[in-house]
Amino acid sequence: MTQGTVSTALARFVLNSLRGFGVDSAALSRQVGFPVWALGDDTVRVPTPQLFKVWRLGHLEFPDPHLGLRISGRWSRGRLHLHDYLFETAATLGDGFTTAIDYAHVVSDDNGADDVDVIGDDGHLTVRYQVRSPSPETSALISEFALGALLRRARDTLGAEISPVHVGFCGDPPPSHRDLVAAFGTPRVDFGQDQTTMTFAPADLEQPLPGADPVLARILRAHADAITAAPGRAPGWRDPLREAIAADLRGRTASLHAVAARLAMSPRSLQRRLEEDGTSWRQEVDAVRRDQAARLLREGASRAAMAAQLGYSDVRALRRAVRRWNLPT
């Protein structure tokens, strides 16, 4: 199955929230392999398993049983970018919930692994958002976060403290769920359910949203549909890795420690990522040297200049490498 992806907006939001709880989010990013360049670019996406690791490791450092709820409480308008604006331009609260679920892939596109939908019954609307991760505990945290963030967004958009009539969670009940009752505003919070759900009454669903804008909504949905048709690929890390090697290579032998620092990773983390990808530091440096050598040959650079620029001790070492690469001389 193709690996799912999440938006960098979501990844940043979770990391920033964890930092607010005292977790070293920079170290956490390095540990799970989030490259700094990717997190600052809203046009790319990051692999879902990496965000699962962030939740799992963040929870180990901040072991609050309702970490998902705590993080959802830090939501504010625009934190999730396009997804937030899709919601607030809908006509009514019910339409907003339906749109949010229809376009859940904008935030997290996990290729059908999660159970995400809306169910209408006797005028009521139930939002189902059950995350499926390798860890049931992590799944519960993220599912709780998803419902909490959606409710907070609804309240903020309406400017009113609406509450669901029922909330259901998988898993066993905690020793106390007063925090959940207070946050969701309903005493009807049940555990041991098949899915994580949140149900709203017909009167709430009919409330018009103040930011309703049918023209803008159509534009935003068209943009979201384009993301569905051609999703941004999860950013690989070979390109920035090789760019960092090339930058460090100029006039000397590339240093693993220096390149790791450029990528905001520890040297050991970099070596581990290389091993996981079936390559090595030496292979990657050699690949960069080959590409640089091919470019310099096309530009007519002298062998002495090439050897110096590529960090070779002398021209003979460069010649041996050029023959091994089978480059035209």
SS3 category, 328: coil
Rounded CA-CA distance 92/94 in Å is: 5
Beta bridge partners of 48: none
- Specify the fold of 5-229: H-NOX domain (3.90.1520)
Q: What is the pLDDT of residues 154-208, one digit of tens each?
A: 999 999 999 999 999 988 888 888 899 999 999 999 999 988 999 999 999 999 9
CB atoms within 10 A of CB 162: 16
Rounded CA-CA distance 116/151 in Å is: 15
C-alpha distances (whole Å) from 305 to each of 6, 155, 288, 320 are: 44, 65, 16, 16
SS3 letters across 254-283: CCHHHHHHHCCCCHHHHHHHHHHCCCCHHH
Six-digit token pair at 22? 């005292």
Eight-state DSSP code of residue 90: S
Q: Is the pTM of this model over 0.75?
A: no
Rounded CA-CA distance 56/257 in Å is: 28
Angle in degrees, CA 90, 96, 99, rounded to 5: 95
- Strands (E) in 35-181, as ranges, are 45-47, 108-109, 115-121, 124-130, 166-168
As a residue count, the chain comes to 329
Residues spanned by CATH 1.10.10.60 within the chain? 238-325
* Residue 133 near residue 52, CB atoms below 8 Å: yes
Per-residue pLDDT, 251:
64
Rounded CA-CA distance 207/184 in Å is: 18
- Specify the fold of 238-325: Arc Repressor Mutant, subunit A (1.10.10)
* Residue 191 near residue 173, CB atoms below 8 Å: yes
Nearest to 68 by CA among 17, 9, 11, 16: 17
136 burial type by CB count under 10 A (0-12 exposed, 13-18 middle, 19+ buried): exposed
Residue with tokens 């490498």: 321
SS3 letters across 162-203: CCCCEEECCCCCCCCCHHHHHHHCCCCEECCCCCCEEEECHH
pLDDT in tens, the chain (329 residues): 346 888 989 999 999 999 999 999 988 888 887 766 667 777 778 888 889 999 999 999 999 999 999 999 999 999 999 999 999 999 999 999 999 999 998 999 875 567 888 998 888 999 999 998 889 999 999 999 999 999 999 999 999 999 999 999 988 888 888 899 999 999 999 999 988 999 999 999 999 999 999 999 999 999 888 875 554 544 456 777 888 888 888 767 788 888 888 776 778 878 887 887 778 888 888 888 888 888 888 888 888 888 888 888 888 888 888 888 888 76
C-alpha distances (whole Å) from 246 to each of 74, 181, 259, 270, 305 are: 40, 55, 9, 16, 16
Residues spanned by CATH 3.90.1520 within the chain? 5-229
Six-digit token pair at 67? 């970490």
C-alpha distances (whole Å) from 107 to each of 104, 147, 232, 233, 321 are: 6, 14, 12, 14, 46
Beta bridge partners of 223: none
Rounded CA-CA distance 304/302 in Å is: 5
Q: What is the pLDDT of residues 13-42, one digit of tens each?
A: 999 999 999 999 988 888 887 766 667 777
